[in-house]
């Protein structure tokens, strides 16, 4: 027999509209029909809706309690979220013409990309007489959206004397996002990493 996933536990499935209507019905019944002005904006309706709003906040966090408890158990057991990673690859620097001396840009130089930038991880060195060289770069921020396809970077206005173009001949990859809490819980449940950390309390002592 195949195993099936346990459904998500919802401690209270009622929504705001249901709670308001239940309150209206209960007030009408308890007052023998004397309190029945539930028109939008009426004092009675406004009072009920205000109380339901406060109750809905409580129910929202109440329904989050099972997941919060699971996360706390995993946290105390040493389970951690997988951090995001930074895209890494190579940029090519192309000179306007060959130079009579070496062309050097130090590590740490940044090249703008989207809302971030690529940082040179090593010194760029183009020897005298050559016109181009590749250099290792890494994006400053983590995230899959900062991966870059081949020729996704093409900068012709470099602002650096003698430097004509900066581009990537190959894709720059490896960027990933911070693991979602849902994925963390699923991974922890699958690997059961927390089981080995549970130690019986020595009640006999």
Q: What is the pLDDT of residues 76-91, one digit of tens each?
A: 888 888 899 999 999 9
Lowest mean pLDDT among 73-82, 99-108, 171-180: 73-82
Rounded CA gap, 130 and 95, in Å?
Answer: 8
Question: Does 132 reside within a domain?
Answer: yes
Identify whether residues 94 and 161 lie together within a single domain.
yes
Q: Is residue 67 part of a domain?
A: yes
Q: 49 and 94: one domain?
A: no
- At 195, the pLDDT band (50, 70, 90 cuts) reads low
pLDDT of amino acid 197: 52
User: Do 96 and 146 belong to one domain?
Assistant: yes
* Residue 152, domain extent: 88-167
In a domain, 172, yes or no: no
Q: Quickly state the pLDDT bin for 200 (edges 50, 70, 90).
A: low
Same domain, 41 and 108: no
Has residue 202 been placed in a domain? no
CA-nearest of 113, 189, 99 to 147 is 113
Whole-angstrom distance, CA of residue 109 vs CA of residue 164: 16
Q: Are residues 41 and 68 in the same domain?
A: yes
Predicted confidence band of residue 7 (pLDDT cuts 50, 70, 90): low
| Same domain membership, residue 53 and residue 101 | no
Give yes or no for residue 11 having a pLDDT over 50.
yes
DSSP tag of 85: B
What is the pLDDT, as a whole number, of residue 93? 98
Q: Which domain-ending residue is among 76, 102, 121?
A: 76
Residue 135 or 181, more confident: 135
Q: Once rounded to an integer, what is the mean pLDDT over residues 154-177?
A: 96
Looking at the structure, tell me whether residues 113 and 145 fall in a common domain. yes
Average pLDDT over residues 160-183: 94
3-state secondary structure of 70: helix
Long-range contacts of 105-108 (CB under 8 A, 24+ apart): 105/135, 105/160
Average pLDDT in the chain:
87
What whole-number distance in Å separates Cα of residue 104 and Cα of residue 81? 40
Same domain, 66 and 104: no
The per-residue pLDDT for 193 is 47
Query: In terms of domains, do 20 and 45 share one?
Result: yes
Residue at 11 is within a domain: no
Answer yes or no: pTM beyond 0.95: no
At residue 146, the pLDDT reads 97
Q: How many domains does the chain have?
A: 2
Q: What is the pLDDT of residue 178?
A: 93
User: Do both 129 and 94 map to the same domain?
Assistant: yes
Q: Is residue 5, in this structure, part of any structural domain at all?
A: no
Residues 60 and 116 in one domain: no
Q: Is 195 within a domain?
A: no
């Amino acid at each position: 027999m195949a195993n099936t996933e346990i459904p998500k536990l919802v401690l209270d499935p009622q929504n705001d509209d249901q709670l308001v209507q239940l309150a209206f019905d209960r007030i009408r019944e308890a007052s023998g029909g004397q309190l029945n002005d539930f028109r939008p904006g009426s004092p009675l309706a406004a009072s009920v809706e205000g109380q339901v709003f406060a109750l809905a906040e409580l129910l929202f966090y109440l329904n989050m309690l099972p997941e919060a408890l699971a996360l706390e158990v995993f946290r105390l057991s040493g389970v951690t979220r997988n951090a995001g990673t930074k895209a890494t690859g190579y940029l090519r620097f192309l000179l306007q013409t060959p130079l009579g001396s070496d062309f050097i840009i130090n590590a740490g130089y940044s090249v703008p990309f989207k809302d971030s930038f690529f940082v040179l991880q090593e010194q760029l060195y183009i020897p005298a007489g050559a016109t181009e060289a590749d250099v290792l770069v890494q994006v400053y921020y983590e995230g899959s959206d900062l991966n870059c396809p081949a020729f996704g970077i093409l900068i012709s206005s470099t602002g650096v004397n003698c430097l004509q173009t900066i581009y990537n001949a190959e894709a720059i990859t490896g960027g990933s996002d911070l693991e979602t809490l849902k994925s963390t819980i699923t991974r922890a449940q699958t690997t059961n990493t927390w089981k080995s950390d549970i130690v019986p309390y020595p009640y006999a002592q």
